[in-house]
């Protein structure tokens, strides 16, 4: 049985539906616009990328727009603690490659969290033992601020592409909304992304062409998000089957290793038993060789004596007197 341990405080993060664009260029431009918008609102933005190349591409685009930012990837790992510590400050922009699992909560800086107790709707019913607190703002005020649609506070997570494993996507989203803090997350996708090609982006592209979709027009719908999740499930299943087959092959190799190492250990520690085993192996090899050379030939005159001498020299490094000249 699997038991889900609830978080200490309810998760109050708004996870938007995926935004799908036709090309990578349109997607990157939309990401730049969203970063700029959230930056002007004074919110910290964490951009998650799937590779170092994408993070450097986005960094160059931000520089052209004059937006100060930090890049956290394999090239700048020595500044990781400093970059993560500043990622929650008001107006900060951080680009990170595979941010999931860094092991450090991003603390929200002054002014990023506007309420002591966030009023964003929590997901589902509170679990047993989970802390339930009364929000600072009234329901009307929360609606006026759009807290449940586009929160005006908290850490903003922007994903530039879906990973093959949903687990990594959830870990990226989970960098925001820690310990009951507000936050939001959204993934920007394009039909040229690797996962989208597996999902069947050609059908969406044809549909966009038929409907006369203009450049930069976005597709967003719960059905699209759900379908992408199904595509991820299929990829995860394929990867699981590949790992399973690899394990089966490794089991065969492991059995061979166990046999070889047991013989090696016996050779190192066998003592008198090793000598007896060596004599037994020599005797067995000699019997096999005699069977091969003589077989059913009962008369010594029928034996191929030069071949016998050669085989004994090759296999036992000895010359047996009388083989070539029985007299």
pLDDT, position 325: 61
Region 12-232: CATH code: 3.40.50.300
Do residues 44 and 89 lie in contact, with contact meaning Cβ atoms separated by under 8 Å?
A: yes
Q: What angle do CA 229, 231, 237 make, to 5 degrees?
A: 105
Location of each CATH 3.40.50.300 domain in the chain: 12-232
For every one of its 327 residues, what pLDDT tens digit does the chain have, with 9 covering 90 and above?
888 887 777 888 899 988 988 889 999 999 999 999 999 999 999 999 988 899 999 999 999 999 999 998 777 667 777 788 788 999 999 999 875 445 677 889 888 887 777 777 776 666 666 666 777 777 787 788 888 888 889 999 999 998 888 888 888 998 898 888 889 999 999 888 888 777 666 777 776 677 666 777 887 777 777 777 777 788 888 888 989 999 989 999 999 999 999 888 888 887 778 888 888 888 898 888 888 888 777 777 777 878 888 888 888 877 777 666 655
Angle between the N-to-C axes of helices 52-64 and 24-40, in degrees from 0 to 180, rounded to the nearest 10 = 60
- CA-to-CA distance for 205 and 193, rounded, in angstroms? 13
Task: Please report how the helices 222-269 and 166-173 are oriented relative to each other, as an axis angle in degrees rounded to 10.
Answer: 110
């Amino acid at each position: 049985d699997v038991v889900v341990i609830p978080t200490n405080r309810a998760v109050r993060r708004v996870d938007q539906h995926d935004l799908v664009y036709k090309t990578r260029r349109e997607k990157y431009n939309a990401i730049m616009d969203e970063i700029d918008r959230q930056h002007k609102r004074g919110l910290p933005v964490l951009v998650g990328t799937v590779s170092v190349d994408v993070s450097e591409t986005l960094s160059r685009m931000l520089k052209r727009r004059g937006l100060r930012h930090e890049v956290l990837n394999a090239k700048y790992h020595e500044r990781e603690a400093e970059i993560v510590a500043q990622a929650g400050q008001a107006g900060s922009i951080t680009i990170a490659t595979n941010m999931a699992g860094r092991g450090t909560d991003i603390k929200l800086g002054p002014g990023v969290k506007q309420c002591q107790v966030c009023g964003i709707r929590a997901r589902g019913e509170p679990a047993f033992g989970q802390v339930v607190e009364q929000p600072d703002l009234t329901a009307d005020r929360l609606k006026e601020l759009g807290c449940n649609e586009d929160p005006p506070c908290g850490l903003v997570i922007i994903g530039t592409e879906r990973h093959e494993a949903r687990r990594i996507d959830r870990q990226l989203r989970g960098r925001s909304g820690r310990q009951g803090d507000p936050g939001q997350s959204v993934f920007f996708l394009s039909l040229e992304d690797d996962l989208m090609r597996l999902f069947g982006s050609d059908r969406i592209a044809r549909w966009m062409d038929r409907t006369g979709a203009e450049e930069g027009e976005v597709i967003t719908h719960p059905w699209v998000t759900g379908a992408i999740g199904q595509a991820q499930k299929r990829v995860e299943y394929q990867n699981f089957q590949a790992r399973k087959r690899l394990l089966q092959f490794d089991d065969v190799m492991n059995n061979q290793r166990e046999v070889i190492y047991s013989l090696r250990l016996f050779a190192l520690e066998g003592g008198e038993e090793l000598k007896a085993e060596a004599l037994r192996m020599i005797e067995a090899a000699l019997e096999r060789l005699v069977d091969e050379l003589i077989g059913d030939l009962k008369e010594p005159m029928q034996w191929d004596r030069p071949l016998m001498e050669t085989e004994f020299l090759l296999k036992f490094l000895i010359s047996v007197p009388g083989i070539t000249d029985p007299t």
